C-alpha cells in the first residue's frame, strides 16, 4: 500500500492526473508499488519482461541500448518526477526496438503494473495521449543523436577537435564557446551544443559557462577509433 505522501507525489507528478476519473485514479493508486534499486541494478530489459509505467521518486535512472559486444549508447536519463513509458513498451504496440533501464544511483521508483497501464492506455484517451507524446519526444531526441553519429560523424569530429585543443594547450580545461567550436568544425551552434550535451551525458566532458572540462579523455580517443 502506498503512503499518503506517496499518493500525493504521484498525483502531482503525473501530468494528466486530472483527466482520470475517480475510478481510474483509484485503479492507478491501487496498482502502483514502490520499488528500491541499488546503483548499477538493471531495472528493465525489454526483450525479456514487461514492467509497466515508471515514475521516479528519487535517484537517477539511465536508459540505453546495447550491442552484441556489450557496447552501450545512452538514450536519456530520468530523475525525480520524471516518467518513463519505455518500461511499458510491451503493451504499446507502436514501440518495437530493444532497450534497457538501469539505476545510475540508488533509486526509489513507483511502478504502475502493466495490466493496469494497458487498461488505462486503452480506455482513457488523455492517458494514451500523454504516453504517446512522451514516447514521440524521447524518440525524436534519440533519433537526432543517432543521426549525428551515423551520418555526420559529428561525434568523431568533435572528439578530434577537443583532443587536439587539449593537447595544444596541455590542459583538460578548454575555454571555448559552443559558437567557436561550431565555426572551427564547420557545423552549426545548435548541433554542437546538442552533441556537447550528449558528451556530458556520457560523462566524457563537463560543461561550464564559457568552456568545458574533459573528464574522460580515453573515452574520447576511443570514439575516434571506431
Residues that bind its own copies (CB under 8 A): 65-68, 71, 73, 92-98, 125-126, 128-129, 132-133, 135-137, 139-144, 146-147, 149-152
CA-wise closest residue to 135 among 200, 75, 62: 75
Integer Cα distance of 197 and 207 in angstroms: 8
* Smallest distance, its own copies to C-beta of residue 124, A: 10
* Nearer residue to its own copies within complex by CB, 116 or 148: 148
* Nearer residue to its own copies within complex by CB, 38 or 71: 71
DSSP code string of 97-161: S--EEEESSSEEEEEEEHHHHHHHHHH-HHHHHHHHHHHHHHHHHHHHHHHIIIII-HHHHHHHH
Integer Cα distance of 127 and 121 in angstroms: 6
* Smallest distance, its own copies to C-beta of residue 54, A: 18
> Are the C-beta atoms of residues 19 and 127 closer than 8 Å to each other?
yes
* Nearer residue to its own copies within complex by CB, 152 or 172: 152
* Nearer residue to its own copies within complex by CB, 92 or 163: 92
* Smallest distance, its own copies to C-beta of residue 116, A: 20
* Smallest distance, its own copies to C-beta of residue 58, A: 27
Amino acid at each position: 500500500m502506498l503512503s499518503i505522501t506517496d499518493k500525493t507525489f504521484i498525483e502531482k507528478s503525473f501530468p494528466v492526473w486530472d483527466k482520470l476519473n475517480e475510478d481510474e485514479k483509484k485503479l492507478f493508486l491501487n496498482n502502483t508499488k514502490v520499488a528500491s534499486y541499488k546503483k548499477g541494478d538493471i531495472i528493465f530489459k525489454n526483450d525479456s519482461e514487461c514492467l509497466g509505467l515508471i515514475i521516479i521518486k528519487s535517484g537517477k535512472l539511465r536508459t540505453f541500448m546495447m550491442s552484441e559486444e556489450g557496447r552501450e549508447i545512452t538514450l536519456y536519463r530520468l530523475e525525480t518526477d520524471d516518467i518513463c513509458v519505455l518500461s511499458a513498451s510491451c503493451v504499446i504496440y507502436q514501440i518495437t526496438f530493444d532497450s534497457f533501464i538501469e539505476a545510475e544511483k540508488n533509486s526509489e521508483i513507483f511502478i504502475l503494473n502493466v495490466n493496469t497501464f494497458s487498461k488505462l492506455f486503452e480506455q482513457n484517451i488523455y492517458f494514451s495521449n500523454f504516453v504517446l507524446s512522451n514516447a514521440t519526444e524521447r524518440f525524436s531526441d534519440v533519433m537526432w543523436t543517432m543521426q549525428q553519429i551515423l551520418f555526420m560523424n559529428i561525434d568523431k569530429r568533435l572528439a578530434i577537435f577537443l583532443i587536439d585543443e587539449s593537447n595544444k594547450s596541455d590542459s583538460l580545461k578548454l575555454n571555448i564557446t559552443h559558437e567557436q567550436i561550431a565555426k572551427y568544425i564547420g557545423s552549426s551552434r545548435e548541433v554542437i551544443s546538442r552533441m556537447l550535451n550528449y558528451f556530458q551525458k556520457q560523462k566524457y566532458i563537463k560543461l561550464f559557462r564559457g568552456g568545458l572540462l574533459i573528464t574522460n579523455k580515453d573515452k574520447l580517443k576511443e570514439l575516434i577509433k571506431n
